Structure formats: structure tokens, C-alpha cells
Amino acid sequence: MSKYSFLPFFSALILLFATFVSADFTVIGPAAGSTYTGGSTVVVQWKDDGESPALDTFDTLQVLICTGPNSGIDCDNITPLATLTTAADIDAGKTSVVIPPTVGSNGLWFFQVYALKADKSSLWRYSARFTLSGMTGTARKATSGSDTTRPAGGSVAGSTVTSGAEYSASFTVPYPLQSGPTKFAPMQQQPGTKVTVSVASRRFPTSAVTYYSSVRKSPDAVSTITPGWSYTTGVATNYATPAPNPSINSYYPASAKLASLRASASAARRLRRRWVD
């Protein structure tokens, strides 16, 4: 039997992980069933559960607007509605946001409150669903009531995904805020049946490039995971009549074309000799 024991190490590891996951909060506002119009100012409220570490020890707290069923959450992670970076603002437990009418269509929406620490651990929770009207956007089609329960939310410690629910929710976390060996990218969008805009615009902001001054022992990122398509494409047989054979469609043999070229070249040589003489 080894004289060294790994029990203290594992005990400390479990204690460290338990300390992280014990932090929790609940989004208490807006209330379920609330109704707003696009462009309205809405107060988003959250409540810390009082466990350590406190929510105000997180370095950044963002509020995103989302729609979709619990199995396919679609958040506008390009333009957060609010970004809080001080302990006082986070500890206040509320912030006011303006809902842009261009973010999507009328229907059911909800907020994601995302908290990030300097060590890259993160925690996110969702509000109850509310109804938006007067929306003018086409980028997101809001749901109409298939899911009535709020999404469960999740947490990531050191970018380690620990469950299927957290794996799915990781795709809703803004890409620039992710870190660690694995990142989660949004699903690739497919073109529609018609062009609805006249000026091209960037869907995601450009990312910064940082060059290393020395060789690193390990990469900052190992892989990026992209979810599969949430839809299927159909396949159909092409029943169009084939084009006619070349002999029917004004076909001529290549040798005839070559013969005419040779004749033209020969005539040109004769004319050239006559001019020189």
C-alpha cells in the first residue's frame, strides 16, 4: 500500500467544485405572463440565494433577450441589453433594459441573465416568459406557447461542461465571453428563398488577434463545437426534359472548323508572298 494518500487532494477538489456550484440566483422579474411592446423599458430583477460565493463576486453580468423552446433557445448574443461590471450594480438585483423591436417577431420571449467570473467560471439563469407585441424584426421567429416552463439555466467551471442540459445551454452563451479548451459556436444559418435586404451587414463582430511572444506549452482553445441543423432539407427528382442531342442542336464536327482555319491560313500566306514580291 502506498504511503501517499490522494484523499486530501480529492477532498480539496470536491470542496472547490462544491464552492463554485453552491452560488446560485433566480430571475424574479418580469413576472410570467407579462406583456410589453417593442421599444418598451423593462425592469429585469434577480435574487441571490445567499450562498457563497455571492453573486456580486462575479465580474460581469449581462442580460440577453431570448426566444424559442427550452430545447432550442435562441438568444441575441451580439447586442446584450445590459452589461454590469461593478459589484454595486450586480448586488442591486435589478436593471432596466429597452427591448429593441427589430430583434424578432411578436410572441413569447424571456431574458437570460449571464454571470461571468475572472477565472472564466460562469452561471446563467432565465426569466419567465412574457409576451411582446409591436415587434418588427425578422431575424428570430418568436414561439407562440409550446413551452410554459422557464429553461433550467446552467453553469460552467473552467469551461468544463458537466451535463447534457449545460451542453445545450452553452450554445446560448455569447461566444466572446467563452474561454477554455472548448468553445460553442451558434448554428450556421442557411439562406432563405428570397433576398430581403439591399445592404450587407456583419452578423457577428470581428474578433481580435493576439500574437504570442513565445511558444506556449498548450493551446488556449482545442476545438469549437457547432450544433447540428435544427431542420431537415428535402430531396426531389429533376423531371425536366433533357436537352436535345448535339447533332440535332446545330452540331458541326470539329474537323470542319479546323479545315476552314487551315484554308484561311493558306490564303493568308499566298497574299503575303504576293505583297513581298
| 249 part of a folded domain | no
Judge whether 158 lies within some domain.
yes
Residue 239 domain flag: no
For residue 115, is it within any domain?
Answer: yes
Low-confidence ranges of the chain (pLDDT < 70): 1-23, 52-53, 157-170, 172, 174-182, 187-191, 203-205, 207, 216-223, 228-233, 244-277
Amino acid 184: pLDDT: 77
pLDDT on residue 81: 94
The pLDDT assigned to 113 comes to: 94
Instruction: Tell me whether residue 273 is in a domain.
Output: no
Domain CATH number, residue 63: 2.60.40.10
d(CA 63, CA 75): 10
Tally the domains of the chain. Answer: 1
Per-residue pLDDT at 217? 64
Query: In angstroms, what CA-CA distances link 239 with 97, 157, 233, 242?
Result: 54, 55, 19, 9
What is the pTM for the complete model shown?
Answer: 0.54
Query: In terms of residues, how long is the chain?
Result: 277
Measuring CA to CA, how many Å separate 73 from each of 8, 26, 159, 169, 194?
Answer: 41, 18, 20, 8, 25
Q: What is the pLDDT of residue 247?
A: 61
The three cell numbers locating residue 268: 493568308
Say if 263 falls within a structural domain.
no
Q: Would 48 be classed as within a structural domain?
A: yes
Kindly state the cell numbers that stand for 162. Answer: 458537466
70/61 Cα distance (integer angstroms): 22
The pLDDT score that the predictor gives to residue 265 is 65
Measured between alpha carbons, how far is 197 from 88 in angstroms, rounded to an integer? 42
pLDDT at position 57, please?
83
Question: With helix as H, strand as E and coil as C, how does the chain read?
Answer: CCCCCCHHHHHHHHHHHHHHHHCCEEEEECCCCCEEECCCEEEEEEEECCCCCCHHHCCEEEEEEEECCCCCCEECCCCCCEEECCHHHHHCCEEEEECCHHHCCCEEEEEEEEEECCCCCEEEEECCCEEEECCCCCCCCCECCCCCCCCCCEEEECCECCCHHHHHHHHHCCHHHCCCCEEECCCCCCCCCCCCCCCCCCCCCCCCCCCCCCCCCCCCCCEEECCCCCCCCCCCCCCCCCCCCCCCCCCCCHHHHHHHHHHHHHHHHHHHHHHHC
- Residue 274 has what pLDDT? 54
Whether 99 is in a domain gets the answer yes
Hey, which residues does 66 pair with through a beta bridge? 75, 110
Given this model, what pLDDT does residue 196 score?
81
pLDDT for res 200: 80
Structural domain span for residue 133: 13-187+221-225
- Cα distance between residue 31 and residue 40, in whole Å: 15
Residue pair 64/131 in contact (Cβ under 8 Å)? The answer is no
